[in-house]
Amino acid sequence: MIISFSVQNFASIKEKQTLSFEADKSNHLEDYYIIKSQIGLRLLKLGLIYGANASGKTNILLALEFLRDLVLEPENKKTNTLNFKPFLFDSKTPNENSILSLDFIQNSIRYFYEIEFNQKAITREELLFFDPNKATVFNRTTDLNKQLAIITFGSKIKKDKNIEKSLEINTLWNTTVLGGFLKTNIELKELKDVTDWFYGYLKPMIYTKTELESYVNSKIYSSEIVKEDIINILKQADFHISDLVLQKEEEDIPDGFIDFIEKQLKSQSERIKDLKNRGKITSINLQFEHTVKNGKYFLPSENESAGTMRYYGFAGILSLLIKDSVAVTIDELESSLHPDLYVHFLLSFLMNSKNSQLIATTHNREIFNNKEIFRNDAIWFTEKSEYCSTELYSLSDFDTSVIRDTSNIYNAYKSGKLGAIPNLGTIYIDLNNENK
């Protein structure tokens, strides 16, 4: 579970900004919002980030996704540069290092992981654990002249004498120690715990254009997601869907498809090699059964509305959130969803999940009208400073002089008392028209 995540000098974020999931002292909606962790911390299941366009909401999620990729998709050549931009609206920050840090729980142990980097290299990296006192797993520095990683393990870590050297060989100056571990044939409990957390708990980011249909189809077909669960979730959302029909088909691989996939990947995987050998690609066609006045009708997925298909994908995500222990990040949660369906999704997650967390950006402010369904510490805002840098803060940071009762939340946000709204100009636009 995520305790907190901090970002500094990344995209629109200049100064250190921290998204925390530690709950405040309020017991409001305790049974639905709070995860009581094995180490005694009360952690939130939900974090919703509001803000104007270009205020940096998505960059918070992108930073977390970038960290996940650094760990799980390490570079395979030391000449490759890291695909990110530091804060650019400043004369100093483009030449300064960026820093990401993550405080989290895995297997009942609290870990703290931090990396410092620029576009060429990981310059510093450390992993700590608390069991219960703070101890070092490893410290990593980088000799930038020699382009070599130097790794030192803490005194409490049980390891073979050859592990450090083997790990250093596979940790390029532009890859993390955790990424190097994934390429090294060694056994080390703490590193396995942490890499397992990044792979198993922290799921890939869902963008507004992420195509979830194929993902859910494949998970149903492989029995990783139960079809009846998806049907039940869709029924509860009033889509009049009574069944799903999935059929596998094999087609010839389109010209240029493999070349395109290979360019997207940093290394050739076994799946690419298998595709080349087979010369075929497998697709799963989906049809929805609708029951209307006791009659059954079938619609191919391409004939369904964008909202139906978006929620079909979300039904798969919701099933995952409820049955497993995962963290999911979603950009613009409300995209293609009716406001009531948006709230229905959130409540279904909060009411039924146990140890999962959801982080989402959103513009849907109707939730502020009903304090019976949200906690202040689960609501976050992003706002651009006078220097165009992102500032992140929580609704729980405001005192009662700003927010006095249930109705004031929505009104305070609309009136600008909470910030994080666009500063719009006049609706009259004077175009330079030479033909006046």
21-56 confidence digits (pLDDT tens): 999 999 999 999 999 998 999 999 999 999 999 999
Helix 306-323 / helix 227-236 crossing angle, nearest 10 deg: 120
| Chain mean pLDDT for the chain | 88
CA distances from 226 to 6, 275, 284, 322, 420 (A): 36, 27, 16, 12, 40
Banded model confidence at residue 249, pLDDT cuts 50, 70, 90:
confident
Q: Per-residue pLDDT tens for 332-375? A: 999 888 889 999 999 999 999 999 999 999 998 888 888 888 99
Query: For residue 71, which phi and psi values (nearest 5 degrees)?
Result: -80, -50
Q: Are strands 109-117 and 98-106 parallel, antiparallel or unpaired?
A: antiparallel
Q: CB within 8 A of 204, min separation 6: which ones?
A: 65, 68
Distance CA(201)–CA(2), nearest Å, equals: 9
Residue 425 clears pLDDT 80, i.e. is over it:
no
**pLDDT: is 244 or 292 the higher one?**
244
Looking from the CA of 325 toward its CB, the CA atoms found within 13 Å total: 12
SS3 31: helix
Percent of the chain with pLDDT over 90: 69
Q: Are the CB atoms for 336 and 312 separated by under 8 Å? A: no
What pTM, to 2 d.p., does this model score?
0.88
CA distances from 70 to 75, 117, 137, 311 (A): 8, 11, 19, 30
Distance CA(373)–CA(410), nearest Å, equals: 13
Unique residue bearing structure tokens 């990981």? 122
Q: What is the pLDDT of residue 419?
A: 67
Residue 200 clears pLDDT 60, i.e. is over it:
yes
DSSP lists the bridge partners of residue 7 as 17, 100
Q: Per-residue pLDDT tens for 58-107? A: 999 999 999 999 999 999 999 999 999 999 999 999 999 999 999 999 99
**pLDDT: is 277 or 110 the higher one?**
110
Residue 229 clears pLDDT 90, i.e. is over it:
yes
Q: What is the pLDDT of residue 406?
A: 47
State the burial class of residue 230 (Cβ atoms within 10 Å of its Cβ: 0-12, 13-18, 19+): buried
Residue 417 clears pLDDT 70, i.e. is over it:
no
The mean pLDDT value for 297-306 works out to: 92
Residue 2 clears pLDDT 80, i.e. is over it:
yes
Distance CA(390)–CA(95), nearest Å, equals: 19
The mean pLDDT value for 402-427 works out to: 59
The mean pLDDT value for 191-206 works out to: 97
Exposure b/e, 375-395, CB count within 10 A at least 16 = b: bbbbbbbbbbeeeebbbbbbb
Residue 156 clears pLDDT 50, i.e. is over it:
yes
Helix 339-352 / helix 306-323 crossing angle, nearest 10 deg: 10
Q: Per-residue pLDDT tens for 165-195? A: 899 999 999 999 999 999 999 999 999 999 9
Residue 421 clears pLDDT 60, i.e. is over it:
yes
Q: What is the pLDDT of residue 234?
A: 93
Rg for the chain, CA atoms, rounded: 24
Distance CA(172)–CA(183), nearest Å, equals: 11
Q: What is the pLDDT of residue 158?
A: 82
Residue 157 clears pLDDT 60, i.e. is over it:
yes
Q: What is the pLDDT of residue 238?
A: 85
Distance CA(362)–CA(52), nearest Å, equals: 10
The mean pLDDT value for 294-306 works out to: 91
The residue among 118, 97, 242 whose CA lies nearest residue 174 is 118
The residue among 125, 190, 131 whose CA lies nearest residue 157 is 190
Q: Per-residue pLDDT tens for 258-275? A: 666 665 555 555 667 776
User: Cβ atoms within 10 A of the Cβ of 54, count?
Assistant: 14
Q: Are strands 295-300 and 280-292 parallel, antiparallel or unpaired?
A: antiparallel
**pLDDT: is 375 or 409 the higher one?**
375
Q: Which CB contacts under 8 angstroms, 24+ apart, belong to 371-374? A: 371/406, 371/409, 372/406, 373/29, 373/343, 373/346, 373/347, 374/29, 374/48
Q: What is the pLDDT of residue 413?
A: 63
